[in-house]
Copies of this chain bind each other. A is one copy, B any other.
């Protein structure tokens, strides 16, 4: 976790304080269920709730752990200090540390997912606003980095919206993947604890009981979770790369917002660097790097080995914190992105009308000119644009062989940008609904 790439809400989820709070709730709910089953006295179960408003003392727990060398026991010892050791004696009965640890991890991941969804919602809202704002801002579409045909800036935002919206759906599914809990004992057989306890704890904490666990909740769930975050990160990179391209000195169709006070801005006014989107490119790599170890974590030995644990201690917080930060950085970037419609037009007209050559070629063919001749006609006028900076339309209108096939009005019509934008509304309807 790198402070400068962290937001406090997500950091809090991974705070020891939060962890102990969740441990406590699991233990307390489990006591309720055990009392209901008659396994432990009701009074003792109730007593555990006395610590309901306690802020657990992390330093104290660490101190105890230094002696017991066992984190859960340390916590239980500390809990007894609050509840009273007599009442606390039934806490955790029949349970295994993993029951608490694995269920807690999943609760943290669910909460992290909720925050990530909020972040995605902000990104989506920003993209939608900017898409409608620039629905008709014409811009050259590019394949291979080379001018192709006109499109609009709004379509660019709209496709990122659609992509992020898919990401959101994937995240909802990923959240569901890890929304399970397990209180099933040392090897998952419920030998020492009734499945009813698991049912109760899970219901109380918004989880689904893991249908079949071993000592641990199966790690294919977590692999799917982190793989999904990796895909979302790649979508962030996709948007970031587009913005970096738009901000290139030679392109400058859009620019990251640069606050007037930011030093250096006006002595070198061209030197405004797309540092946020470059940073997002790097953050995407960081999020993605958790995918492979998460996949490697799936194949545990028999009912569990602990190789996954150190990996999750790192990627659990780091990946969610980084993605959360990236989403909000992206949202802010999109919200405030400065778009330069006039530069969009200027770039499109760099080769004075040449991007329309394809349309002219088609029109000539449809007007009955042979393919070969159509090509020759387009080519000879295109070369004048390319070599001498002439204007394509002007040249065509002055070419007798061209005007023999197409009227001036027909030629003019081929340069109408409306031709390219006529289906923008249709596409917007597909993306944003009616």
A positions within 8 Å CB-CB of B: 2, 4-5, 68-70, 140-151, 155, 158-159, 162-163, 166-167, 170, 173, 177, 185-192, 195, 209, 211-215, 218, 220-221, 223-224, 227-228, 230-231, 233-235, 237-238, 240-242, 244-245, 247-251, 262-263, 266-275, 278-279, 281-286, 288-293, 295-311, 313-315, 318, 322, 347, 350-351, 354-355, 357-359, 361-362, 375, 378-379, 382-383, 385-386, 419-424, 426-427, 430-431
Contact = CB atoms under 8 A, between A and B. Distances in A.
16 contacts: A142-B301, A142-B303, A144-B278, A144-B304, A150-B191, A151-B303, A159-B213, A173-B173, A189-B424, A190-B422, A234-B299, A241-B301, A266-B383, A279-B309, A288-B292, A288-B293
A401 to B, nearest CB: 15
Nearest to A93: B362
A298 B238 contact: yes
Q: For chain A, what secondary structure do more than half of its interface residues adopt (helix, strand, loop), or is it mixed?
A: helix
Given A187-B143, A211-B162, A299-B241, A266 B382 contact: yes
Given A249-B350, A362-B192, A422-B191, A158 B212 contact: yes
A132 B161 CA distance: 47
Contacts of A190: 422-423, 426-427
Given A69-B263, A238-B220, A247-B146, A141 B212 contact: no
Contacts of A212: 155, 158-159, 162, 427, 430-431
Contacts of A283: 310
A188 B190 CA distance: 46
